[in-house]
Amino acid sequence: MPLSPELTTIAESTKGFMPPREAAALFDAATLASPGIWLEVGTYCGKSTVILGGAAKAAGATVIALDHHRGSEENQVGWEWHDESLVDPEAGCLDTLPSLRRTLRIAGLEDTVTPIVGSTQSVGAWWSTPLEFLFLDGNHTEEVAQHDYSAFARHVSPDGILAVHDVFPDPADGGQPPWHVVQRAVESGAFIQLAVTDSLRVLRRVPGIDFR
């Protein structure tokens, strides 16, 4: 069953960077996951969060949406994807948390999605909960992308699902760090690739193989 028309409309109208084909593929990937805790790394205003939240609500799962809500490099002043409407005038910097909260409210997902406001470095240091689904779509520098994989992919349960966004094998198409994460995951033997939809990769955790 696809995402409901109501949630599809909300997701499409929410600010973010996920085309409809990838959004549909993300929803399909989430339907492969067991109930339990699902983690989204990189939330922005909640476009992909609505997609995951819709799947989680149907499955009886809980989505943890992790983001510091200050934006990545490309969202800052002077960069291509800066949005002045998301700047907190008092703080003088980006703050996407109010937009996320509004998105969750109008989508009816406040009981399904729990936001965590913090960096992946701070949260990754104490995270220990097993994950049935992990979506990596945070900061795309090499250092942070590798950190996020190391910190959270180790907690994906056997047969759990890992999805990685903005994966571009050809550097002419986009940045390489998410592609390097996928390469690392597959080459380690800990994950096998299930699907490719444009820049979205979906993998499954292999039972009995230690994380590396």
Q: What is the pLDDT of residues 160-197, one digit of tens each?
A: 999 999 999 999 888 899 999 999 999 999 999 999 99
Question: Phi, psi at residue 201, to the nearest 5°?
Answer: -115, 140
Please state, for a pLDDT cut of 70, what percent of the chain lies above it.
90
Classified as helix, coil or strand, 162 is: strand
Both tokens of 116, joined, read 């965590």
Mean predicted lDDT score pLDDT of the chain: 92
* pTM score over 0.85: yes
Residue 78 has a pLDDT of 54
Domains of the chain (ranges; CATH) run 5-205 (3.40.50.150)
Which tens digits make up the pLDDT trace of 71-126? 665 655 554 555 666 676 766 667 889 999 999 999 999 999 999 999 999 999 99
Type of residue at 195 = A
Average pLDDT over residues 2-30: 94
Packed helices 97-107 and 47-59: angle between N→C axes, nearest 10 degrees: 40
Active site residues: 140
Residue 113 has a pLDDT of 98
